[in-house]
């Protein structure tokens, strides 16, 4: 497999470079065909076929067919590995999405109980995200569109923000 060359032993019981191999002697292997994987990056994969009954089983014609079959099997195995990886990634993504949904639900409940809100702003796009509690605190509808510089609702929402921060600063100073 390391050399990436096919090996055919017509009669493994006869004297050859592999006749001293313990496996061949112990299992009384007669014919051997070793086909390395021809897929790039997979030098440790291949097919090893053996016959314990007769010598010269793996003729050049049979070897060509077996090489084609081994190539197809290697592709099928690679696809199976990729599919398994994809299933694992999808499972991990679903778990992460579930965890995110739980975290968002806990955050929304905590904001509701503490009467605090949160918001986010993407400086590049100007997009603003507000929590439901922030909308409630500022007396705005949850359906209010907050993106777009020329949006009149956005302007009124921006005017509400300083009032809200002033209110929260005043509340903190008064000890509430």
From the CB of residue 36, how many other CB atoms can be counted at a distance below 10 Å?
22
Residue in 73, 88, 32, 23 with CA at minimum distance from that of residue 55: 32
Percent of the chain, pLDDT > 90? 20
Q: What does 8-61 look like in DSSP terms, one character per residue?
A: EES-TTSSSTTTT-HHHHHHT--EEEEEE--STT-TT-EEEEEESS-SS-S-HH
pLDDT at 154 over 60: no
Q: What backbone phi and psi angles, to 5 degrees, belong to 70? A: -65, -40
- Distances in whole angstroms, Cα of residue 122 to Cα of each of 37, 125, 158, 170: 50, 6, 15, 28
pLDDT value of residue 149: 46
Give dist(CA 45, CA 161) in Å, integer. Answer: 64
Residue 152 — very low, low, confident or very high, per pLDDT cuts 50/70/90? very low
pLDDT in tens, 30-89: 888 888 876 666 556 778 888 888 888 888 888 889 888 888 888 898 899 999 999 999
Q: Which residue has the higher pLDDT, 151 or 3?
A: 3
């Amino acid at each position: 497999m390391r050399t990436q060359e096919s090996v055919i032993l017509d009669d493994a019981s006869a004297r050859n470079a592999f006749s001293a191999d313990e496996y061949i002697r112990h299992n009384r292997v007669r014919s051997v065909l070793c086909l390395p994987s021809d897929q790039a990056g997979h030098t440790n994969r291949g097919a090893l076929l053996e016959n314990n009954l007769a010598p010269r089983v793996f003729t050049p014609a049979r070897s060509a067919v077996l090489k084609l079959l081994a190539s197809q099997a290697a592709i099928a195995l690679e696809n199976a590995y990729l599919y398994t990886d994809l299933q694992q990634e999808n499972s991990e993504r679903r778990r992460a999405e579930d965890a995110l949904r739980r975290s968002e639900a806990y955050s929304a409940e905590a904001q509701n109980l503490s009467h605090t809100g949160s918001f986010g702003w993407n400086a590049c796009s100007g997009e603003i995200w507000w929590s439901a509690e922030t909308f409630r605190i500022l007396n705005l509808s949850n359906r209010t569109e907050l993106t777009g510089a020329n949006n009149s609702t956005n302007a009124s929402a921006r005017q509400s923000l300083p009032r809200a921060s002033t209110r929260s600063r005043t509340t903190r100073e008064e000890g509430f």
